[in-house]
Amino acid sequence: MLAVVDKAVSKALYNSIKVRKIAELFPHERTIPKRVEREGGELIFDSKEGVYFPIVVESSGVILDGMHRHAVAKKLGLGALIVQEVDYASQDVMLARWCRRFKNVNNGQVERVVRKYGMVKSDGETSGRRIRYGKAHFVFPTSMHIRRELEFLNEIERDLGITEDCYVGEDCPETNLDEFSLVIYPPLISKTEVVFTARAGRAYPPKSTRHKFLQRISIKDDEFQQDSLRDFNTTQQYLQYVKRHSQIEYLGDDSKLGKKYQIVVRRQ
């Protein structure tokens, strides 16, 4: 059963929902072009469920979650987006990583990767950033900068033929691995590095980070029109409408999903 959130929390969530011009948003990761092409506007508004998904940003406009939605908005020529602004310094915003797991990788492929990128064998236990193949662990030279390492990992992913089901959680589960499974453990990036990189216009490769939030919102509106986001003023008017005709409902607090909040727009 849905329970209404108390006024203090709902007010805080309402205040976190804002309008930002597209030009004032800064992605910290590049996108996967095929996903932008394949899903298009459905990334912004799920027409089947009637839900609009705001991207999540920190105070200076750096996008923490929603790089693909931002890319779609630019492609569609939208002028602004409704965003959820969070306090990036808060412990409610967690920064982790996506590991990559590949199956049916052969020795020849691993040897080519090791030679091409100058990797060396490691005991695996002392290195948080590595590649594991079977029981063997390989690392980049310790002097390599994180950005360069991430770019190399991105190239390795392409060499191995990465697909969306290769991404696994930051705990990088090693269960059900066989001698032909390869796991990439990317470096951990700090929040400071995320903001600096985005503001400098030097986005990391796709899936370089994984942000998790304890409070998320969506806008439920079966009559949503894309034209509502055509420019800043129109989007601001739509947001005001949303806030006047909506209520926040508590949906659950599953530890894996976090606390989800939803703004339900009730047409008068």
Stated pTM of the model: 0.84
Helix, strand or coil for residue 263?
A: strand
User: Does 258 score more than 80 pLDDT?
Assistant: no
CATH number of the domain encompassing residue 83: 3.90.1530.10
Nearest to 55 by CA among 248, 203, 216, 191: 216
Domain boundary among 187, 207, 235: 187
What pLDDT digit, counting tens, does each position of 60-95 carry? 999 999 999 999 999 999 999 999 999 999 988 989
Beta carbons of 185 and 132 less than 8 angstroms apart: yes
103 with 225, same domain? no
Is the separation of the CB atoms in 95 and 189 below 8 Å?
yes
Residues 15 and 46 in one domain: yes
- One domain for residues 137 and 205: no
Angle between helices 107-116 and 146-160 (to 10 degrees): 150
CA geometry: angle 257, 260, 263, nearest 5 deg: 155
pLDDT of residue 128: 67
Average pLDDT of the chain is 81
Say which amino acid occupies 139: V
Tell me what the mean pLDDT of segment 161-183 comes to.
73
Which residues 6+ apart lie within 8 Å of 26 measured at CB? 60, 61, 62, 63, 198, 199, 201
- Quote the pLDDT of residue 173: 58
Residues 113 and 59 both lie in one domain: no
Q: Which amino acid is at 88?
A: Y
Min mean pLDDT across 9-18, 34-43, 105-114 is at: 9-18
Q: What was the pLDDT predicted at 188? A: 87
Q: Is the pLDDT of residue 267 over 60?
A: no
Number of domains in the chain: 2
Element (H, E) at 108: helix 107-116
pLDDT at 191 over 90: yes
When pLDDT is averaged across residues 206-217 and rounded to a whole number, the result is 86
Per-residue pLDDT tens over the stretch 46-67? 777 777 888 999 999 999 999 9
5 pLDDT higher than 60: no
Would you state the pLDDT for residue 171? 61
Q: Are 236 and 124 in contact (CB under 8 A)?
A: no
pLDDT at residue 113 tops 90? no
pLDDT of residue 204: 94
Looking at the structure, do residues 183 and 225 belong to the same domain, yes or no?
no
**Contact at 8 Å (CB) between 184 and 107?**
no
State the residue range of the domain holding 20.
3-94+195-265
Same-domain check for residues 111 and 87: no
Cα–Cα distances in angstroms (integers) from residue 218 to residues 56, 62, 63, 94, 180, in the given order? 11, 19, 16, 19, 41
Q: Mean pLDDT across the stretch 10-33?
A: 89
| 207-218 average pLDDT score | 85
* Domain limit, last residue, from 146, 171, 187: 187
